[in-house]
Structure 1
Amino acid sequence: MESTPFTDKPTLRGELVTLRPIRAEDADEINAIIRADDEIALLTGSVHSSTEKFPGASIERLRDIYGAWAVADDRLVLAVMDNTTDELVGEVVLHEWDEGNESCGFRTLIGAAGRGRGLGTEATRLIVEHGLTKMGMHRITLEVYDFNPRARHVYEKVGFMHEGTGREALRLDDEWIDVHFMAILAH
């Protein structure tokens, strides 16, 4: 089997956060973060009502998923560790590798304990810089819903540019929400 840019699972250290390879046992903490914070289900477009609970998998299934992601060659999933508390506060992911175009997608999940202190911005910057420099990506893309200006601001600070809008892409509380497509290039 050919190796992909995702075969290497690095640890990336910043001033505020350390990104380390995800492990199966991290599923317990990620599940707790998601279950304790209804905003995550909304911001990820996982629900269609602001009163709906996150429809996640069983903890056993989540452990299997995270265990597989820990060794997967089709994605890089790194746990976001708060350097002050050594607490897992979320994850950052590069995925959907397009070899011919040297590009991939990006997504992140930061729980309430990691918000408002620059942790998400630094985690995004660390993994994006790693993708563009060490992994040789030309382009990294993401999607962000219209009702999440906080995330869009982070992405713009890191260097992502708005490329277009998917009109009425998500139905939430009987309203249609636009999704914005953003990307960052190596140059």
Structure 2
Amino acid sequence: MNLAALENKPTLQGARIRLEPLGIEHLDGFVKQMQDPDLDRLTGSHGGNPSLEVGRQWLSTRKGTKDRLDLAIIETETGDFAGEIVLNDLSTANESCNLRLWLGASFRDHGYGSEAIRLVLAYAFDVVGLHRVELEVYAFNQRAIRTYERCGFEVEGRLRHALLWEGERYDALIMGILNEAA
């Protein structure tokens, strides 16, 4: 595995988006997109939207990490911050990690998520040398599930009642993709 590929944060260029190291320069767009009232439910975040100071603190630490990759999703045409995609929970012993993605409301249903996932998976498998990437998604988030399936992820399991949201319990699906070339 090439751990330097996680430490040396890349910029990945797609057809309509650019993935660049997430940092303090994304603060305004980050805080703006996090104001989406549905984002907390989709990500299972009970803490609510971060304040400007919490966002500043979080973003100021992203480029210094050595065992994860936090990338801003930037719409190339406008330069707007659309969301983030992250490789985290690295297991060097198992050559695997977790993937996390979120997009602001106005950037959903335009293919940006699929493009970001494909760019990051190519980097994870071909450059970092990972064998497996996994994620969790809530079973009610059919849009995300379809996106992950189109990118090659398969449902591998179910965590029953993993989320309690406004008095209702929801399952989470465990999805994974393997580097078949490895």
Name the structure 1 match of 2:45: 46
**1:137 to 2:136 alignment:** no
Distance of 1:169 and 1:81 partners within structure 2:
31
C-alpha distance in 2 between matches for 1:169 and 1:56: 21
Distance apart, 1:185 and its partner CA: 0.5
| Contact 1:28 1:63 survives alignment (8 Å) | no
SS in structure 2 of the partner of residue 183 of structure 1: strand
User: What does 1:167-178 correspond to in 2, within 5 Å?
Assistant: 167-178=160-171
Q: Map residues 1-187 of structure 1 onto 2, 5 A cutoff.
A: 5-35=5-35, 37-47=36-46, 55-187=48-180
Which letter maps to 2:145? R
Letter in 1 for 2:30: I
**Contact kept? 2:29, 2:80, Cα under 8 Å:** no
**Aligned-partner Cα distance in 1 for 2:105–2:92:** 35
> Is the 8 Å Cα contact of residues 24 and 70 (structure 1) preserved in structure 2?
no
User: Retained in 2: the 8 A contact 1:94–1:104?
Assistant: yes
Measured in 1, the distance between the counterparts of 2:154 and 2:16 equals: 24
Post-superposition Cα deviations, 1:13-33, rounded to whole Å, max 9, x if no partner, equal 111111011111313311111
- Structure 1 distance, partners of 2:5, 2:78, is 31
Structure 1 stretches lacking a partner, 5+ long: 48-53
- Identify unmatched segments of 5+ residues in structure 2: none
Distance in 2, Cα, partners of 1:118 & 1:17: 10
CA distance in 2, matches of 1:45, 1:4: 31
What is the match of residue 50 of structure 1? none
- Tell me the number of residue pairs that the alignment of Structure 1 and Structure 2 aligns: 179
Shift of 1:4: 5.0
**CA–CA separation in structure 1 for the residues paired with 2:5 and 2:91:** 11
Contact 2:20 2:72 in 1 (8 A): yes
- Give me the CA root mean square deviation: 1.5
Give a deviation string over 1:139-175, Cα, whole Å, max 9, x none: 0110000110100111111111100000111112222
Looking at structure 2, the residues matched to 135 and 90 of structure 1 have their Cα atoms a distance apart, in angstroms, of 22
Residue type of the alignment partner of 1:16 = R
